[in-house]
Amino acid sequence: MGLRTVRGVSVEAALRMVLMLPEVDERQHGNHIGFRVRDKAFAYLCADDWTMLVKASREDQAALVEDDPRAYKKAHTSGRISWVQVRLRKAHEDELADLITEAWRMTAPRLIVARAELPLC
């Protein structure tokens, strides 16, 4: 993932990371906010307990959890797709931004990804 920064990401910063991505739709689900692109989910935020679920590959999920278990935890795995639970207060901002961007890339239609002017992770 990216270069490490100071630990701790605010809920507001996490929201900015998600909402800067093209064609993101935000939906309230109880105490969670779901983030979708073309009606496909790629992240969820629970501001109540400062956690986020983010879609990832199995390999990225395993690497994140092994590298920094204080910040990342396995959430769900199905096929080649996994979800990572991120403890925002323990996460690194650059690493979370890369994870969210990659989750969006995995989920968005290819044409949208091709048109997006986003840095490569």
The model's pLDDT over 23-42, given as tens digits with 9 standing for 90+, comes to 999 999 888 999 999 999 99
SS (H, E, C) 16-43: HHHHCCCCEEEEEECCEEEEEECCEEEE
What pLDDT is attached to residue 117?
Answer: 73
pTM of the model: 0.88
Just give the CATH number of 11-113.
3.90.1150.30
Provide the 3-class DSSP secondary structure of residue 102.
Answer: helix
- What lies within 8 Å, CB to CB, of 102 at 6+ separation is 56, 60, 121
Bigger pLDDT: 121 vs 18: 18
- How many whole angstroms separate alpha carbon 9 and alpha carbon 19? 15
Burial class of residue 32 in the structure, from the number of CB atoms within 10 Å of its CB (0-12 exposed, 13-18 middle, 19+ buried):
middle
Task: Indicate the domain borders of the chain.
Answer: 11-113
